[in-house]
Chain A
């Protein structure tokens, strides 16, 4: 299917299109949108997920060590502008076992670092399983930040998705508010836009309609006798009052960064994935810039992602390709392009953050944001949960960057412990299953 060119006048934007009522009452003033000067620098976390493992030979640099400047392989070329703010971690392994297949555990134990509950969802092999049995690291950090008025935000965290299939199971969820409480990513930019800016759009819509209602009321009032006019007069006054309230709320809620333009007519279909991805990233950066949230996740597809990336001229599904043996040169080439594309999206996210000055702070937003790129597997055709390609960009956690470390068989529980402590949660002694936390936070 080719995408249909739309005539010019169809290109309306959400800026014009009034949107949903449900998320934000149109009268709630959102004064907190404007960031005030903080007493300590802001820290933000963005977790980005892409599925089906990586190509180890194309991902890992040739040299590791704290003192060796980072060299990026060609697959990661898109990240070259941010190389000095990049940290690659090898040898971090997901050792969680128990029910469920590796894709399931790779996904639902990735950020929770805890076993799955027994359940009724059957994978390709192994025993059926249910949801993860604990909170995920992004939510752990979110909860920590929400306890402090200075780091508290309207949403706490935002879960973005790109091309996530409409189903809820352990393969499609990585964020958990707690045991058996998966959080669904929002993969529709319009829905996310509503959630973030719905109130403003609604106010705009109502402004124009209420004008007409006032006019109508004046017209019918003329037909009424004195007594009945009283109620119409009250009615007109209440409409005027509402118009005033809306104007006041609008003025109060004016965000620091204007909302991005989103094409409301975009269809949520596979072939539009590149455009949807950019919209989601724009919305994500915008929400962080407006201090609506300090934690976000960006989930591409799901574990076992089946996307057919025709925009890269690849007709086969991603998951199928990832199963091909190492010596299949064609599959290798395609997987290279697929992972290079994900690296490009990550680079776009980093660039948008780098271009945005830190609100009420120094440097760019990237200097204060920790991006963590994760995957449910180390390598597609072996389904290993070892050597998961963890790649960190940005300065949010304050880890030294411009280097690659080989941590040689460290549990990923310990990585999340380091991250939590970097975000100020110093009281956290273990994260996920305690038996995998020996040694405490990783020294990175």
Chain B
């Protein structure tokens, strides 16, 4: 049975989103009419649409307003209006009517003139949830030294002596050993309690999946007792819950995202790792295979330290397996694709759950505030304060121990010394908080602000650690942190040169959803970041950071509507289509998009026309053409399960993202295709059309149709009414062209034993008629359509800046589109350009539009 999905209503909310920014194409039609056109409107249209297009209650309530061009409106009127007699308003009259409606109240200008719409402007935004989480993470990273220095500071806490030398901040620190894929494995022979008694071998292991059975793992360690420590860095592609699982009949502990502790090299039953909590503690074995798992929330686009300790003591056999389950993934053995031998410090991650950001405009924005959100911010601030206070020895340096009472001197002298030590620590912590606020507010603090900070938190009566705790909570709850545009004292005057700190703040938000890094702060400090070339140079540098790539992955979700998709299929019809296949398909799609965008040509057209799919061994049986499959089997012994390789199809069979099986499966019912879902998606997201809300809510219910009909025939029947066809004349041809793909996205040539008919006439927004029969023709249509490109650009810009691009100036999208075309549809260029416009917001931004950012590309 079909789920009765209300497919038509589901996209109603999005209609004004894409096209709002299209500059209207003004094609003025001059026609001599005996009756004034306004009168004709009154006669033929006003009864449903109201005298000023405001709508009529109970008839057609939506106001006549939107992004269509006059030509589009003309076509629409000609074909469908008036509803009871579409032939009553055609030809020159339809064109004049369209022009009248457009000028009188439909266009954005008209609406602004009539005061119906507020002018589009850059709105004040708070940090979105990802921006909040990333900013807090990088705020603490700013004060976190590299692993060697962290170890020195923590060792000093134990010994009571302060480490010599300041130590560099940030996570980069000279690492002697080259960084390789996999984890560094240290193989030890044990002697009773002393598990790491003698190092027998050090090597890099790609995966932790060993069954040593009754033997020693490597030569030179006793078979009865040995230990292995694996350590490295874990790259995390997306934000969410990560599960880890350790399976062993022996003892093991897993640490994820920890501070490298001074004594971590030692491995004893009875020493543990000071101050560290294992994510999984399965140190004590219990005579059989134990499988322990745990969950941790991690931010995408980052790397975290990971360490697995393992030992055998007199158990009959030994084995160890380390698996993970990333968001949207399935359980699999962690491997070199996500692991490296890099040594890292901890990155604090705010785990506090937040309410979702506002998506009423079709993309996530920080444009509303609720008590729920305030509770989350406050909870996150308290959790951060806990982290800061707990890690003060790492973030600030260890406190000097009062030596007073141990000295031989008089008691009074000792107490005085203690007071001096305490005062010094108070100063240190006060300075730390001033720095903390400076980094969080993305600008230097004024003198009076520093005074205020001291007076508010650091009076002599307050324990300095309590002061730190309060100050951290305050910083993270204050408007200067939460509203990046409020960090400045004065509103910006667009005539002036932009403030470099503001530019840095905006750049970090658009490129990374985070705070400026050291380099950006230094550039701002020295007054750079005022010319568009300078800004672009930084934007290019930042684009190479994993955080930018992670942010772009968020765009895939937004553009292709990947979130919250239910891909589960009827197991009778598609028995092979299980969770592993779905997880692989998602990975295949992401790898494809990454591969195109981060390639040198970074070509948008490739996204729509690529004739290959990236297939893993699991996906091949389902999707690979039979002849290719046989050939592949003949040539190699089969790659590892996690390898995705391009498989080329005949050009009419596959054409870019829209023919990717993940998307095709998402845009389908659990037991059949859905031309309407696919058609709506293609209209809005690929060919750049806008759709009005359906006048009647209609659900597709399969059982209401003659079972001998094809899907195309059913949909045609369902949408045949003229009130449907104003949109479905666009939707259906696009959807029918995709009928070559079944509900799991496999190529097919017939349905129910009948040959497929995918050919239809499609009328473009400018009224031209095109024949569409397959996906490649849809792609070509999109590539020849300025509206499609503008739609793509607008969506990229919205994801990148959280603002409507038209708010940066009415011409913005057109100019971006012109540059996009000139530069061979280079997506990376587009991202840099958008970030630059957002960061500068003045005539330098216009220059950024006029000149090519490719000069900086080679760097």
Task: List A residues at the B interface (Cβ < 8 Å).
Answer: 1-7, 9-10, 12, 16-18, 20-22, 25-27, 117-122, 127-128, 130-131, 133, 165-170, 179-180, 202, 205-206, 208-210, 212-213, 216-217, 220, 223-224, 227-228, 231-232, 234-235, 238-239, 241-242, 245, 264
Q: Which of B51-59, B306-314, B775-783 contacts A (4 or more CB under 8 A)?
A: B306-314
Asked if B284 and A121 sit within 8 Å, CB to CB, the answer is yes
Q: Which of B371-379, B663-671, B681-689, B730-738 contacts A (4 or more CB under 8 A)?
A: B371-379
> A18 contacts which chain B residues (CB < 8 A)?
385, 466, 469-470
Bound together, the chains give a CA A246 to CA B118 distance in angstroms of: 38
Task: Say yes or no: A234-B470 contact (C-beta < 8 A), given A2-B405, A17-B463.
Answer: no
Bound together, the chains give a CA A216 to CA B441 distance in angstroms of: 13
Give the residue name and chain of the A residue nearest to B478 (CB): A216
> A121 contacts which chain B residues (CB < 8 A)?
269, 284, 313
Residues 239-264 of B at the A interface (beta carbon under 8 Å): 250-251
Asked if A130 and B286 sit within 8 Å, CB to CB, the answer is yes
Bound together, the chains give a CA A120 to CA B755 distance in angstroms of: 67
Q: Is B1 an interface residue (CB 8 A)?
A: no
- Give the interface centre of B290, B473, B490 by most chain A CB atoms within 10 Å: B473
Task: Say yes or no: A128-B286 contact (C-beta < 8 A), given A4-B402, A202-B382, A234-B369.
Answer: no
Asked if A205 and B469 sit within 8 Å, CB to CB, the answer is yes
Q: Is B486 an interface residue (CB 8 A)?
A: yes
> A212 contacts which chain B residues (CB < 8 A)?
456, 474, 478
> A117 contacts which chain B residues (CB < 8 A)?
286-287
Asked if B284 and A208 sit within 8 Å, CB to CB, the answer is no
Bound together, the chains give a CA A169 to CA B419 distance in angstroms of: 42
Tell me, rounded to whole Å, the shortest Cβ–Cβ distance linking B271 to chain A.
7
Those 6 A-B pairs whose CB atoms lie nearest each other, nearest first: A118-B287, A228-B124, A117-B286, A21-B382, A130-B286, A238-B374
Q: Is B480 an interface residue (CB 8 A)?
A: yes
Asked if B284 and A131 sit within 8 Å, CB to CB, the answer is yes
Bound together, the chains give a CA A212 to CA B437 distance in angstroms of: 15
Tell me, rounded to whole Å, the shortest Cβ–Cβ distance linking B804 to chain A.
14
Tell me, rounded to whole Å, the shortest Cβ–Cβ distance linking A58 to chain B.
30
> B123 contacts which chain A residues (CB < 8 A)?
227-228
> A21 contacts which chain B residues (CB < 8 A)?
379, 382-383, 385-386
Partner of A26, one of B382, B418, B456: B382
Asked if A120 and B315 sit within 8 Å, CB to CB, the answer is yes
Tell me, rounded to whole Å, the shortest Cβ–Cβ distance linking A130 to chain B.
4
Q: Is B491 an interface residue (CB 8 A)?
A: yes
Not counting A209-B473, A223-B486, a sample of 18 additional A-B residue pairs whose C-beta atoms are within 8 angstroms of each other reads: A4-B402, A9-B460, A12-B466, A22-B383, A22-B386, A118-B286, A118-B287, A130-B284, A131-B286, A167-B269, A180-B284, A205-B469, A209-B474, A216-B479, A231-B369, A232-B124, A234-B369, A234-B370
- Give the interface centre of A127, A209, A227, A242 by most chain B CB atoms within 10 Å: A209
Bound together, the chains give a CA A5 to CA B371 distance in angstroms of: 46
Task: Say yes or no: A166-B460 contact (C-beta < 8 A), given A118-B286, A238-B369.
Answer: no
Bound together, the chains give a CA A162 to CA B348 distance in angstroms of: 30
Partner of A5, one of B405, B462, B470: B405
> B415 contacts which chain A residues (CB < 8 A)?
5, 7
Asked if A167 and B124 sit within 8 Å, CB to CB, the answer is no
Asked if A130 and B460 sit within 8 Å, CB to CB, the answer is no
- Give the interface centre of B118, B486, B491 by most chain A CB atoms within 10 Å: B486
> A216 contacts which chain B residues (CB < 8 A)?
478-480
> A10 contacts which chain B residues (CB < 8 A)?
422, 463
Bound together, the chains give a CA A220 to CA B477 distance in angstroms of: 14
Give the residue name and chain of the A residue nearest to B486 (CB): A220
Partner of B250, one of A1, A120, A227: A120
Bound together, the chains give a CA A232 to CA B124 distance in angstroms of: 9
Give the residue name and chain of the B residue nearest to A119 (CB): B285
Asked if B374 and A241 sit within 8 Å, CB to CB, the answer is yes
Tell me, rounded to whole Å, the shortest Cβ–Cβ distance linking B823 to chain A.
35
28 contacts between A and B (CB under 8 A): A4-B405, A4-B418, A5-B405, A5-B414, A7-B418, A9-B460, A16-B466, A22-B383, A25-B379, A121-B269, A122-B193, A130-B287, A166-B272, A167-B269, A168-B283, A205-B473, A216-B479, A223-B486, A223-B489, A223-B490, A223-B491, A231-B369, A234-B368, A238-B370, A241-B371, A242-B374, A242-B375, A245-B371
> B373 contacts which chain A residues (CB < 8 A)?
238
Tell me, rounded to whole Å, the shortest Cβ–Cβ distance linking A336 to chain B.
28
Bound together, the chains give a CA A235 to CA B404 distance in angstroms of: 50
Give the residue name and chain of the A residue nearest to B384 (CB): A21
Bound together, the chains give a CA A242 to CA B124 distance in angstroms of: 23
Q: Is B703 an interface residue (CB 8 A)?
A: no
> A12 contacts which chain B residues (CB < 8 A)?
462-463, 466
Bound together, the chains give a CA A266 to CA B379 distance in angstroms of: 27
Asked if B479 and A168 sit within 8 Å, CB to CB, the answer is no
- Give the interface centre of B118, B284, B311 by most chain A CB atoms within 10 Å: B284
Bound together, the chains give a CA A206 to CA B269 distance in angstroms of: 41
> A264 contacts which chain B residues (CB < 8 A)?
463
Bound together, the chains give a CA A20 to CA B469 distance in angstroms of: 10
Asked if A206 and B463 sit within 8 Å, CB to CB, the answer is no
Asked if B272 and A128 sit within 8 Å, CB to CB, the answer is no
Asked if A169 and B469 sit within 8 Å, CB to CB, the answer is no
Tell me, rounded to whole Å, the shortest Cβ–Cβ distance linking B697 to chain A.
32
Give the residue name and chain of the A residue nearest to B479 (CB): A220
Bound together, the chains give a CA A231 to CA B402 distance in angstroms of: 49
Q: Is B281 an interface residue (CB 8 A)?
A: yes
> B369 contacts which chain A residues (CB < 8 A)?
231, 234-235, 238
Bound together, the chains give a CA A176 to CA B380 distance in angstroms of: 33
Bound together, the chains give a CA A21 to CA B472 distance in angstroms of: 13
> B356 contacts which chain A residues (CB < 8 A)?
none
Bound together, the chains give a CA A1 to CA B193 distance in angstroms of: 28
Asked if B314 and A128 sit within 8 Å, CB to CB, the answer is yes
Q: Write out, one digit per residue, whether chain B residues 448-480 have a CB within 8 A of any chain A CB (1) or not (0).
A: 000000001000111101100110011001111
Q: Write out, one digit per residue, whether chain B residues 379-419 have a CB within 8 A of any chain A CB (1) or not (0).
A: 10011011000000000000000101110000100110011
Partner of A242, one of B378, B462, B469: B378
Asked if B486 and A20 sit within 8 Å, CB to CB, the answer is no
Task: Say yes or no: A238-B284 contact (C-beta < 8 A), given A2-B405, A26-B379, A120-B314.
Answer: no
> A119 contacts which chain B residues (CB < 8 A)?
284-287
Tell me, rounded to whole Å, the shortest Cβ–Cβ distance linking B293 to chain A.
15
Bound together, the chains give a CA A263 to CA B516 distance in angstroms of: 40
Tell me, rounded to whole Å, the shortest Cβ–Cβ distance linking B802 to chain A.
14
> A16 contacts which chain B residues (CB < 8 A)?
463, 466
Asked if B479 and A6 sit within 8 Å, CB to CB, the answer is no
Tell me, rounded to whole Å, the shortest Cβ–Cβ distance linking A174 to chain B.
14
Bound together, the chains give a CA A202 to CA B378 distance in angstroms of: 10
Bound together, the chains give a CA A166 to CA B756 distance in angstroms of: 70
Give the residue name and chain of the B residue nearest to A265 (CB): B463
Asked if A167 and B271 sit within 8 Å, CB to CB, the answer is yes
Tell me, rounded to whole Å, the shortest Cβ–Cβ distance linking B128 to chain A.
13
Residues 78-133 of B at the A interface (beta carbon under 8 Å): 118, 121, 123-124, 126
Partner of B124, one of A165, A205, A231: A231
Tell me, rounded to whole Å, the shortest Cβ–Cβ distance linking B409 to chain A.
14
> B382 contacts which chain A residues (CB < 8 A)?
21, 26, 202, 205-206
> B383 contacts which chain A residues (CB < 8 A)?
21-22
Tell me, rounded to whole Å, the shortest Cβ–Cβ distance linking A27 to chain B.
7
> B386 contacts which chain A residues (CB < 8 A)?
20-22
Give the residue name and chain of the A residue nearest to B474 (CB): A209
Q: Write out, one digit per residue, whether chain B residues 279-295 have a CB within 8 A of any chain A CB (1) or not (0).
A: 00101111100100000
Give the residue name and chain of the A residue nearest to B473 (CB): A209
Q: Is B39 an interface residue (CB 8 A)?
A: no
Give the residue name and chain of the A residue nearest to B367 (CB): A231
Bound together, the chains give a CA A118 to CA B250 distance in angstroms of: 11
> A3 contacts which chain B residues (CB < 8 A)?
405
Asked if B470 and A122 sit within 8 Å, CB to CB, the answer is no
> A20 contacts which chain B residues (CB < 8 A)?
386
